[in-house]
Structure 1
Amino acid sequence: MNYSEKFQALADAARAKVEEVAPSDVDRLQQEGAIVLDIRDKEEHDAGHIPGSLHVSRGKLEMNVEAAIPDRDAVILCYCNAYNRGALSANTLREMGYVNAKFIAGGLKGYKSLKGA
Protein backbone atom coordinates (compact mmCIF):
# COMPACT_ATOMS: atom_id res chain seq x y z
CA MET A 1 0.00 0.00 0.00
CA ASN A 2 1.27 3.47 -0.84
CA TYR A 3 1.03 5.96 2.00
CA SER A 4 1.46 9.70 1.90
CA GLU A 5 4.94 10.97 2.74
CA LYS A 6 3.67 12.72 5.86
CA PHE A 7 1.90 9.65 7.19
CA GLN A 8 4.92 7.45 6.55
CA ALA A 9 7.20 9.99 8.24
CA LEU A 10 4.96 9.95 11.34
CA ALA A 11 4.94 6.15 11.38
CA ASP A 12 8.71 5.96 10.92
CA ALA A 13 9.25 8.43 13.76
CA ALA A 14 6.99 6.34 16.01
CA ARG A 15 8.90 3.17 15.09
CA ALA A 16 12.14 4.87 16.09
CA LYS A 17 10.75 5.70 19.55
CA VAL A 18 9.08 2.42 20.48
CA GLU A 19 10.45 -1.08 21.01
CA GLU A 20 9.63 -3.68 18.41
CA VAL A 21 8.77 -7.24 19.49
CA ALA A 22 9.51 -10.17 17.21
CA PRO A 23 6.48 -12.25 16.22
CA SER A 24 8.28 -15.30 17.61
CA ASP A 25 8.16 -13.73 21.10
CA VAL A 26 4.44 -12.90 21.14
CA ASP A 27 3.06 -16.19 22.46
CA ARG A 28 5.63 -16.35 25.27
CA LEU A 29 5.07 -12.73 26.28
CA GLN A 30 1.31 -13.24 26.21
CA GLN A 31 1.67 -16.31 28.46
CA GLU A 32 3.76 -14.15 30.81
CA GLY A 33 0.90 -11.65 31.05
CA ALA A 34 1.45 -9.23 28.18
CA ILE A 35 -1.69 -7.74 26.66
CA VAL A 36 -1.82 -8.24 22.90
CA LEU A 37 -3.74 -5.25 21.55
CA ASP A 38 -5.32 -5.32 18.10
CA ILE A 39 -5.76 -1.69 17.07
CA ARG A 40 -7.22 -2.40 13.63
CA ASP A 41 -10.80 -1.59 12.69
CA LYS A 42 -13.54 -3.93 13.92
CA GLU A 43 -14.05 -5.44 10.47
CA GLU A 44 -10.35 -6.29 10.26
CA HIS A 45 -10.38 -7.81 13.75
CA ASP A 46 -13.51 -9.84 13.01
CA ALA A 47 -11.85 -11.25 9.87
CA GLY A 48 -8.94 -12.65 11.91
CA HIS A 49 -6.71 -11.77 14.85
CA ILE A 50 -4.10 -13.10 17.24
CA PRO A 51 -5.83 -15.49 19.65
CA GLY A 52 -6.51 -13.90 23.03
CA SER A 53 -5.94 -10.37 21.78
CA LEU A 54 -7.89 -7.40 23.07
CA HIS A 55 -9.48 -5.13 20.45
CA VAL A 56 -9.49 -1.34 20.74
CA SER A 57 -9.50 0.37 17.36
CA ARG A 58 -6.88 3.01 16.61
CA GLY A 59 -9.64 5.53 15.99
CA LYS A 60 -10.87 5.25 19.57
CA LEU A 61 -7.66 4.25 21.32
CA GLU A 62 -7.12 7.41 23.33
CA MET A 63 -10.77 7.49 24.45
CA ASN A 64 -11.12 3.82 25.42
CA VAL A 65 -7.75 2.44 26.43
CA GLU A 66 -7.80 3.59 30.05
CA ALA A 67 -11.02 1.66 30.73
CA ALA A 68 -9.75 -1.39 28.83
CA ILE A 69 -6.21 -1.33 30.30
CA PRO A 70 -6.06 0.62 33.57
CA ASP A 71 -2.55 -0.64 34.50
CA ARG A 72 -0.02 1.80 33.01
CA ASP A 73 2.80 -0.65 33.81
CA ALA A 74 1.28 -3.51 31.79
CA VAL A 75 3.27 -4.86 28.87
CA ILE A 76 1.17 -4.01 25.82
CA LEU A 77 1.95 -5.42 22.38
CA CYS A 78 0.14 -3.34 19.75
CA TYR A 79 -0.42 -4.70 16.29
CA CYS A 80 -2.04 -3.83 13.00
CA ASN A 81 -1.62 -5.62 9.67
CA ALA A 82 2.07 -4.77 9.32
CA TYR A 83 3.91 -1.96 11.15
CA ASN A 84 2.60 1.57 10.88
CA ARG A 85 -0.59 1.71 12.94
CA GLY A 86 0.90 -0.62 15.55
CA ALA A 87 3.91 1.65 15.99
CA LEU A 88 1.78 4.78 16.04
CA SER A 89 -0.50 3.23 18.67
CA ALA A 90 2.37 2.08 20.87
CA ASN A 91 3.90 5.54 20.67
CA THR A 92 0.57 7.13 21.61
CA LEU A 93 0.25 4.79 24.58
CA ARG A 94 3.76 5.69 25.71
CA GLU A 95 2.80 9.36 25.53
CA MET A 96 -0.24 8.52 27.69
CA GLY A 97 2.01 6.99 30.35
CA TYR A 98 1.93 3.31 29.37
CA VAL A 99 5.65 2.74 29.90
CA ASN A 100 5.76 -0.79 28.46
CA ALA A 101 3.86 -0.23 25.23
CA LYS A 102 5.55 -1.93 22.26
CA PHE A 103 4.51 -3.12 18.83
CA ILE A 104 4.72 -6.43 17.04
CA ALA A 105 7.13 -6.31 14.10
CA GLY A 106 5.25 -7.19 10.94
CA GLY A 107 1.91 -7.07 12.76
CA LEU A 108 -0.66 -9.76 12.09
CA LYS A 109 1.01 -10.65 8.80
CA GLY A 110 4.30 -11.31 10.57
CA TYR A 111 2.61 -13.36 13.27
CA LYS A 112 0.58 -15.42 10.80
CA SER A 113 3.59 -16.11 8.58
CA LEU A 114 5.41 -17.47 11.62
CA LYS A 115 2.47 -19.77 12.32
CA GLY A 116 2.28 -20.87 8.70
CA ALA A 117 -1.17 -19.38 8.27
Structure 2
Amino acid sequence: MKNAHDLVAEAKAQVPEIPLEQAEEALRKADVLIDVREADEYLAGHIPGAIHMSRGVLEFKLSGAPALAARDLKIVLYCKTSGRAALAARSLQAMGYLDVQSLAGGFDAWSAAGKPVASPQAPTFD
Protein backbone atom coordinates (compact mmCIF):
# COMPACT_ATOMS: atom_id res chain seq x y z
CA MET A 1 0.00 0.00 0.00
CA LYS A 2 1.32 3.45 -0.91
CA ASN A 3 1.52 6.29 1.56
CA ALA A 4 1.66 10.05 1.02
CA HIS A 5 5.45 10.05 0.76
CA ASP A 6 5.29 7.38 -1.96
CA LEU A 7 2.82 9.46 -3.95
CA VAL A 8 4.96 12.59 -3.61
CA ALA A 9 8.08 10.70 -4.69
CA GLU A 10 6.27 9.37 -7.76
CA ALA A 11 5.00 12.85 -8.63
CA LYS A 12 8.44 14.41 -8.20
CA ALA A 13 9.86 11.79 -10.57
CA GLN A 14 7.43 12.98 -13.25
CA VAL A 15 7.29 16.74 -12.64
CA PRO A 16 10.21 19.08 -13.35
CA GLU A 17 11.32 20.91 -10.22
CA ILE A 18 12.86 24.35 -10.47
CA PRO A 19 15.96 24.71 -8.29
CA LEU A 20 15.85 27.78 -6.04
CA GLU A 21 18.84 29.28 -7.89
CA GLN A 22 16.77 29.33 -11.11
CA ALA A 23 13.44 30.27 -9.55
CA GLU A 24 13.37 34.00 -10.28
CA GLU A 25 14.12 33.47 -13.97
CA ALA A 26 11.54 30.68 -14.21
CA LEU A 27 8.92 32.88 -12.55
CA ARG A 28 9.60 35.69 -15.03
CA LYS A 29 9.05 33.26 -17.90
CA ALA A 30 5.91 31.69 -16.40
CA ASP A 31 2.46 32.62 -17.61
CA VAL A 32 1.01 31.89 -14.19
CA LEU A 33 2.36 31.23 -10.69
CA ILE A 34 -0.01 29.30 -8.47
CA ASP A 35 0.23 28.92 -4.69
CA VAL A 36 -1.53 25.66 -3.80
CA ARG A 37 -1.29 26.11 0.00
CA GLU A 38 -4.31 26.76 2.18
CA ALA A 39 -5.80 30.25 2.34
CA ASP A 40 -4.34 31.07 5.76
CA GLU A 41 -0.85 30.12 4.56
CA TYR A 42 -1.23 32.33 1.48
CA LEU A 43 -2.48 35.26 3.53
CA ALA A 44 0.45 34.96 5.93
CA GLY A 45 2.83 35.55 3.01
CA HIS A 46 3.29 34.44 -0.58
CA ILE A 47 5.56 34.89 -3.56
CA PRO A 48 4.73 38.20 -5.27
CA GLY A 49 2.50 37.69 -8.30
CA ALA A 50 1.18 34.32 -7.16
CA ILE A 51 -2.50 33.56 -7.42
CA HIS A 52 -4.06 31.38 -4.77
CA MET A 53 -5.73 28.07 -5.60
CA SER A 54 -5.70 25.57 -2.74
CA ARG A 55 -4.77 22.10 -3.91
CA GLY A 56 -8.18 20.77 -2.91
CA VAL A 57 -10.00 22.98 -5.42
CA LEU A 58 -7.28 23.51 -8.02
CA GLU A 59 -8.80 21.40 -10.79
CA PHE A 60 -12.23 22.98 -10.32
CA LYS A 61 -10.90 26.54 -10.34
CA LEU A 62 -8.77 25.91 -13.44
CA SER A 63 -11.72 24.32 -15.23
CA GLY A 64 -13.80 27.39 -14.44
CA ALA A 65 -11.19 29.96 -15.52
CA PRO A 66 -11.27 30.58 -19.29
CA ALA A 67 -8.08 32.67 -19.04
CA LEU A 68 -6.25 29.54 -17.83
CA ALA A 69 -7.75 27.08 -20.33
CA ALA A 70 -4.84 27.00 -22.80
CA ARG A 71 -2.97 23.76 -22.24
CA ASP A 72 0.34 25.29 -23.37
CA LEU A 73 0.51 27.81 -20.52
CA LYS A 74 3.78 27.85 -18.60
CA ILE A 75 2.60 27.08 -15.07
CA VAL A 76 4.72 27.12 -11.92
CA LEU A 77 3.25 25.74 -8.71
CA TYR A 78 4.48 25.94 -5.14
CA CYS A 79 3.41 24.98 -1.65
CA LYS A 80 5.17 25.02 1.73
CA THR A 81 7.96 22.53 0.98
CA SER A 82 7.08 21.09 -2.48
CA GLY A 83 5.03 17.94 -1.81
CA ARG A 84 1.56 19.36 -2.45
CA ALA A 85 2.87 21.27 -5.47
CA ALA A 86 4.27 18.08 -7.02
CA LEU A 87 0.96 16.29 -6.50
CA ALA A 88 -0.94 19.26 -7.94
CA ALA A 89 1.40 19.40 -10.94
CA ARG A 90 0.73 15.72 -11.68
CA SER A 91 -2.97 16.47 -11.61
CA LEU A 92 -2.52 19.35 -14.08
CA GLN A 93 -0.48 17.08 -16.34
CA ALA A 94 -3.37 14.60 -16.24
CA MET A 95 -5.69 17.46 -17.28
CA GLY A 96 -3.52 18.01 -20.35
CA TYR A 97 -1.35 20.94 -19.28
CA LEU A 98 1.95 20.56 -21.10
CA ASP A 99 4.36 22.89 -19.27
CA VAL A 100 3.94 22.45 -15.52
CA GLN A 101 6.76 22.80 -12.99
CA SER A 102 7.04 23.03 -9.23
CA LEU A 103 9.39 25.06 -7.08
CA ALA A 104 11.91 22.84 -5.27
CA GLY A 105 11.73 23.46 -1.54
CA GLY A 106 8.55 25.51 -1.90
CA PHE A 107 7.76 28.71 -0.07
CA ASP A 108 9.93 27.75 2.90
CA ALA A 109 13.06 27.61 0.72
CA TRP A 110 12.06 30.82 -1.09
CA SER A 111 11.59 32.83 2.11
CA ALA A 112 14.64 31.28 3.85
CA ALA A 113 16.75 32.50 0.91
CA GLY A 114 15.57 36.07 1.59
CA LYS A 115 13.53 36.31 -1.60
CA PRO A 116 10.65 38.81 -1.73
CA VAL A 117 7.45 37.89 0.12
CA ALA A 118 4.12 39.63 -0.36
CA SER A 119 1.54 39.90 2.40
CA PRO A 120 -1.88 41.51 2.21
CA GLN A 121 -2.09 44.66 4.26
CA ALA A 122 -4.77 44.78 6.90
CA PRO A 123 -7.04 47.79 6.60
CA THR A 124 -6.55 50.60 9.06
CA PHE A 125 -9.45 52.31 10.72
CA ASP A 126 -7.97 55.60 11.85
What range describes the TM-score normalised by the shorter chain of this pair? 0.7 to 0.9
Q: 1:99 to 1:115 in 2, by over 3 A?
A: same
Report the equivalent of 1:31. Answer: 28
Equivalent runs, 1:51-62 vs 2, <5 Å: 51-62=48-59
List alignment gaps of at least 5 residues for structure 2: 117-126
Contact 1:24/1:111, CA 8 A, preserved across alignment: no
Count the aligned residue pairs: 113
Q: Which amino acid aligns with 1:57?
A: S
Distance 2:46 2:39 in 1: 10
CA RMSD of aligned residues (A): 1.7
Does the residue aligned with 2:85 lie in a helix, a strand or coil? helix
Q: Do 1:24 and 1:114's aligned partners in 2 also have CA atoms closer than 8 Å?
A: no
How far 1:71 moved relative to its partner?
2.0
Residue 49 of structure 1 corresponds to which residue in structure 2? Answer: 46
- C-alpha displacement of 1:26: 2.3
Q: Which moved more, 1:39-48 or 1:16-25?
A: 16-25
Query: Taking structure 2 as the reference length, what is the TM-score of the superposition?
Result: 0.82
Unaligned runs of 5+ in 1: none
Give 3-state SS (helix, strand or coil) of 1:62's partner. helix
Which of the two has higher C-alpha Rg?
2
Partner of 2:37, secondary structure, is coil
Q: TM-score, normalised by structure 1?
A: 0.88
